[in-house]
Amino acid sequence: MPDAPPAFRAPLPSDPASWDMAASERLANAAVAGEVLADLADADDRIVVLTADLKFSNRTVDFERRHPRRFLNVGIAEQHMVTMAAGMATFGYVPYVATFASFVGLLCAEQLRTDLAYPGLPVRVLAHHAGISLGFYGTSHHATEDLGLLRAMANMTVICPCDAASTERALRTTVDHDGPIYFRLGRGREPDVHAPGAPAFEVGRLATLRDGGDLAIVANGVTVAPALAAAEQLATEGVEATVLDAHTIRPFDAETLCAVAARSGRLLVAEEHNVVGGLASACADALVDGGVGGVRLARAGMPPDEYALIGPPTHLYRHYGLDADGLAARARALLDR
């Protein structure tokens, strides 16, 4: 089949604000996964990669090129893919399965629970283009409930890195992790928060990216960069915000969260998820369980009773207040300013 460059002249735009999906695929932070896994697989023959007719979107094709015999395309059959990986894991393999978050975190919820989490098998899920990052593809392609489902699964580890460096770090440090991991990845327009190679990243620990005593902003994935930008805006107004990167949702670092929240009593949670069931819920659980009273919690995310509008991703982030301006406004409201 023809794999030659198509006969067209114009290069695809790569403006970070662009909603050009085709261009975004080239930059997906999942994009690092194929190469990183190929590197790891050079020295580890347990690693196999599976995808469901999306190898170009998630760049697992980069793994296929280097390890063709350990790459399996199962066709458009996600539920089968997850369960097939479970079967392989019982033979000592460490399978990585990759597809859009909506078609694994939601479509395969029961397979994730019953075939991976319950037996505690070391299968890793690369759930990319999560949240509303597929924009005008609409609700079928959005995953704004997956954290709610995954958080309730015993034995499951859930990691939501904010950029390419974090994704690489998360993959490299968890190969030997006992049990399944759900990596929730974006569409690839996440600006670099961390310098390549050296992100502060320890699975299971909240990372403090910025320190300030007036409020704390907890973010993960695509909301980390705007949370930092919002903190910069607020600083010019004399408001100092702590920014936490909650890259690990499960297990959740309740201890750090409670300590930080107790300091200012003001917590703004920013997540690309329904405000029910995800990061904000994890924070609320931690506060109540930890007996930390009097904290005002604001939830920025998808409204509890709505499915997203149609629109380009960046426009949707703005509409739902998940960009820097939106988060700064929520922070001011939280501080009654």
Ligand X SMILES: Cc1ncc(C[n+]2csc(CCOP(=O)(O)OP(=O)(O)O)c2C)c(N)n1
Q: Tell me which residues touch ligand X (CB under 6 A).
A: 53-54, 76, 78, 103
289 binds, among ligand X, other proteins, none (CB under 5 to 8 A by kind): none
The residue (of 40 and 74) whose beta carbon lies closer to other proteins is: 74
In the complex, the smallest distance separating the C-beta of residue 82 from other proteins, rounded to whole angstroms, is: 12
In the complex, the smallest distance separating the C-beta of residue 325 from other proteins, rounded to whole angstroms, is: 16
The residue (of 134 and 222) whose beta carbon lies closer to other proteins is: 134
Q: Which two tokens stand for residue 288?
A: 């109540």
In the complex, the smallest distance separating the C-beta of residue 246 from other proteins, rounded to whole angstroms, is: 28
The residue (of 21 and 206) whose beta carbon lies closer to ligand X is: 21
d(CA 337, CA 332): 5
The residue (of 79 and 208) whose beta carbon lies closer to other proteins is: 79
Query: Shortest Cβ contact with ligand X: which residue?
Result: 53
d(CA 84, CA 82): 5
Cβ partners under 8 Å of residue 271, min gap 6: 147, 219, 220, 221, 223, 278, 279, 280, 299, 300, 301
d(CA 4, CA 139): 33
105 binds, among other proteins, ligand X, none (CB under 5 to 8 A by kind): none
113 binds, among other proteins, ligand X, none (CB under 5 to 8 A by kind): none
In the complex, the smallest distance separating the C-beta of residue 127 from other proteins, rounded to whole angstroms, is: 14
In the complex, the smallest distance separating the C-beta of residue 105 from other proteins, rounded to whole angstroms, is: 12
The residue (of 63 and 320) whose beta carbon lies closer to ligand X is: 63
Query: How many Å separate Cα 49 from the centre of its chain?
Result: 19
161 binds, among ligand X, other proteins, none (CB under 5 to 8 A by kind): none
- Which stretches of the chain bind other proteins, using CB under 8 A? 1-3, 5-10, 12-13, 18-23, 25, 51, 53-57, 61, 73-77, 79-80, 102-103, 107, 135-141, 309-312, 315-316, 319
Q: Which of 158, 307, 328 is nearest to 227 (CA)?
A: 328
Element (DSSP H or E) covering residue 73: strand 71-73
Fill in the amino acid letter for 93.
Y
Cβ partners under 8 Å of residue 337, min gap 6: 237, 239
d(CA 280, CA 301): 9
Do 115 and 100 touch, CB atoms closer than 8 A?
no
DSSP line for 86-130:
HHHHTTT-EEEEEEEGGGTTTTTHHHIIIIIITTT---EEEEES-
333 binds, among other proteins, ligand X, none (CB under 5 to 8 A by kind): none
In the complex, the smallest distance separating the C-beta of residue 159 from other proteins, rounded to whole angstroms, is: 24
The residue (of 96 and 100) whose beta carbon lies closer to ligand X is: 100
46 binds, among other proteins, ligand X, none (CB under 5 to 8 A by kind): none
Q: Which two tokens stand for residue 78?
A: 């996600």
The residue (of 98 and 258) whose beta carbon lies closer to ligand X is: 98
In the complex, the smallest distance separating the C-beta of residue 33 from ligand X, rounded to whole angstroms, is: 17
Fill in the amino acid letter for 218.
V
Q: From its phi and psi, is residue 241 left (phi > 0), alpha (psi between -120 and 50) or beta?
A: beta
